Chain A
Amino acid sequence: MFKFIKQYAETISNVNIYPIISLVIFLVFFIVLLVLVKKMKKERVQELSNLPFGNEELTNSNL
Chain B
Amino acid sequence: MQVEKFYYDNKVVKNFAYATILWGGVGMLVGLWAALQLVFPQLNITQYGSFGRLRPLHTNAVIFAFVGNGIFMGVYYSLQRLCKARMFSDKLSNIHFWGWQLIIVAAAITLPIGLTQGAEYAELIWPIDVAITIIWVIFGWNMFGTIIKRRERHLYVAIWFYIATFVTVAVLHIVRSGQLPYSWLQSYSWYSGVQDALVQWWYGHNAVAFFLTTPYLGLMYYFLPKAANRPVYSYRLSIIHFWSLIFLYIWAGPHHLLYTSLPNWAQSLGVVFSVMLIFPSWGGMINGLLTLRGAWDRVRDDVILKFMVVAVTAYGMATFEGPMLSLKSVSAIAHYTDWIVAHVHVGALGWNGMLTFGVLYWLIPRIFKTDLYSKKLASYHFWLATLGILFYAIPMYWAGIQQSLMWKEFTEAGQLKYTFLETVTYMKPFYAMRSIGGTMYLAGVFIMFYNIYKTVKQGKLVANEEAEAAPLPKVVEKHKGEHWHRVIERRPIQLMILSLVVILIGGVIELIPTFMIKSNVPTISSVKPYTPLELQGRDIYVREGCYTCHSQMIRPFRSETERYGEYSKAGEFVYDKPFLWGSKRTGPDLAREGTGNLKKSDGWHFRHFREPSSMSEGSIMPAYPFMLTQELDTSTTKAKINAMRSLGVPYEKGYEKFANQELMTQANSIRINLKIEGIEVPANREVIALIAYMQRLGKDISNNKTPTTNK
Contact = CB atoms under 8 A, between A and B. Distances in A.
Contacts of A61: 229-231
B230 A62 contact: yes
Nearest to A47: B154
Interface in A22-38: 22-23, 25-26, 29-30, 33-34, 36-38
Interface residues of A, number: 44
Given A15-B265, A60-B229, A36 B484 contact: yes
Given A19-B272, A34-B240, A12 B485 contact: no
A9 B516 contact: yes
Given A18-B269, A33-B243, A49 B232 contact: yes
A48 B154 contact: yes
Contact of A54 (B84, B157, B516, B517): B84
A51 to B, nearest CB: 4
Contact of B244 (A6, A33, A47): A33
Interface string B498-509: 000010011001
B509 A2 contact: no
Contacts, number: 127
A56 to B, nearest CB: 9
B335 to A, nearest CB: 21
Which DSSP category, helix, strand, loop or mixed, fits chain A's interface?
Answer: helix
Given A11-B517, A41-B483, A51-B152, A18 B229 contact: no
Nearest to B221: A52
Contact of A52 (B156, B298, B516): B156
B236 interface: yes
B327 to A, nearest CB: 14
A18 B514 CA distance: 12
A33 B483 contact: no
B222 interface: yes
A7 to B, nearest CB: 9
A10 B520 CA distance: 9
A5 B513 CA distance: 11
Given A44-B486, A58-B230, A12 B519 contact: yes
Interface residues of B, number: 56
A26 B248 contact: yes
B231 A63 contact: yes
Contacts of B469: 54
Nearest to A14: B265
Contacts of B269: 18-19, 22
B272 A54 contact: no
Contact of B81 (A2, A19, A52): A52
B156 A48 contact: yes
A62 B291 CA distance: 11
Contact of A51 (B154, B484, B515): B154
A19 B519 CA distance: 18
Nearest to B520: A12
Contact of A58 (B229, B235, B268, B519): B229
A60 B240 contact: no
B294 A62 contact: yes
A2 B229 CA distance: 53
A12 B298 CA distance: 58
Contact of A18 (B243, B485, B509, B515): B509
- Among A9, A16, A19, A23: residue with most chain B CB under 10 A: A19
A59 to B, nearest CB: 6
A16 B265 contact: yes
B515 A11 contact: no
A12 B517 contact: yes
B472 interface: no
A61 B520 CA distance: 57
B226 interface: yes
A54 B295 CA distance: 21
A45 B293 CA distance: 18
Given A33-B243, A36-B485, A52-B222, A58 B231 contact: yes
A40 B485 contact: yes
Interface in B267-308: 268-269, 272-273, 276, 293-295, 298
A37 B240 contact: yes
Contacts of B653: none
Contacts of B509: 18, 21-22
A30 to B, nearest CB: 6
Interface of A: 1-2, 5-6, 9-12, 15-16, 18-19, 21-23, 25-26, 29-30, 33-34, 36-41, 44-54, 58-63
11 contacts: A9-B518, A12-B519, A15-B263, A15-B513, A18-B513, A29-B244, A33-B243, A37-B239, A45-B236, A48-B154, A53-B231
